[in-house]
Amino acid sequence: MPVSATYDSSSAAFLGGVRRAVRSVFFPVMMGTYIGIGALAHDFGLTPWWLALSTIVVWAAPAQVILITAIGLGSSMIEAAIAVSLSAIRLFPMAVSLLPLLRGPGTRVRHLLLPAHFTSVSMWMESLRYLPGIAQERRIAFCNGLSVTFMSTAVTFGFIGFYLAAGLPTVFAAALLFLTPLSFLISTASNARMMMDRLALVLGLVLLPLLVYLDVGLDLMWTGIIGGTLAYAIHRLREATR
- Pick 175 or 190 by higher pLDDT: 175
- Pick 90 or 118 by higher pLDDT: 118
Residue 187 maps to a domain:
no
User: Given CA atoms 24, 30, 32, 35 in this order, what sign does their dihedral have?
Assistant: negative
pLDDT of residue 70: 82
Residue 185 maps to a domain:
no
Q: How confident is the model at residue 16 (pLDDT cuts 50, 70, 90)?
A: very high
Task: Answer whether 94's CB lies under 8 Å from 124's CB.
Answer: yes
Q: Report the percent of the chain where pLDDT is more than 70.
A: 85
Phi, psi of 199 (to 5 degrees): -65, -40
Q: Which long-range contacts (CB under 8 A, 24 or more apart) does 126-132 make?
A: 126/20, 126/21, 126/24, 126/26, 127/98, 127/101, 128/97, 128/98, 128/101, 129/2, 129/3, 129/191, 130/2, 130/3, 130/5, 130/20, 131/2, 131/101, 131/102, 132/2, 132/101
Count of domains forming the chain: 2
Q: How confident is the model at residue 1 (pLDDT cuts 50, 70, 90)?
A: very low
For residue 25, CA distances in Å to 91, 126, 187 come to 20, 10, 9
- The chain-wide mean pLDDT, for the chain, equals 83
Give the residue numbers spanning the domain of 230.
192-241
Question: DSSP label at 132?
Answer: G
Based on the fold, state whether residues 168 and 223 are members of the same structural domain.
no
Per 3-state DSSP, the chain is made up of helix, strand and coil in percentages (nearest 5) of 80, 0, 20
Residue 55 maps to a domain:
yes
Q: How confident is the model at residue 142 (pLDDT cuts 50, 70, 90)?
A: very high
Residue 5 maps to a domain:
no
Q: Report the percent of the chain where pLDDT is more than 90.
A: 22
User: 181: left (phi > 0), else alpha (psi -120 to 50), else beta?
Assistant: alpha
User: Span 9-26, mean pLDDT?
Assistant: 91
Q: What is the pTM of this model?
A: 0.74
Question: DSSP label at 4?
Answer: P
Is the pLDDT assigned to residue 51 strictly greater than 90? yes
Residue 31 maps to a domain:
yes
- Pick 185 or 69 by higher pLDDT: 69
Phi, psi of 224 (to 5 degrees): -65, -45
62-116 tens-digit pLDDT? 888 888 888 887 878 887 888 788 778 878 888 888 988 998 888 888 889 999 9
Most confident of 106-110, 133-137, 145-149: 145-149
Is the pLDDT assigned to residue 14 strictly greater than 90? yes
192-220 tens-digit pLDDT? 567 777 788 788 888 888 887 887 766 66
pLDDT of residue 241: 84
Is the pLDDT assigned to residue 4 strictly greater than 70? no
Residue 56 maps to a domain:
yes
**Residue 50, Cβ neighbours under 10 Å: how many?**
13
Residue type, 120: S
Based on the fold, state whether residues 115 and 173 are members of the same structural domain.
yes
- CA-based radius of gyration for the chain: 19
Phi, psi of 121 (to 5 degrees): -60, -50
- Beta-carbon contacts of 140 under 8 Å, excluding residues fewer than 6 positions away, are 102, 107, 111, 112, 115
Query: For the packed helices 91-102 and 109-118, what is the interaxial angle rounded to 10 degrees?
Result: 140
Based on the fold, state whether residues 155 and 89 are members of the same structural domain.
yes
Last residue of a domain, one of 156, 180, 204: 180
Q: How confident is the model at residue 191 (pLDDT cuts 50, 70, 90)?
A: low
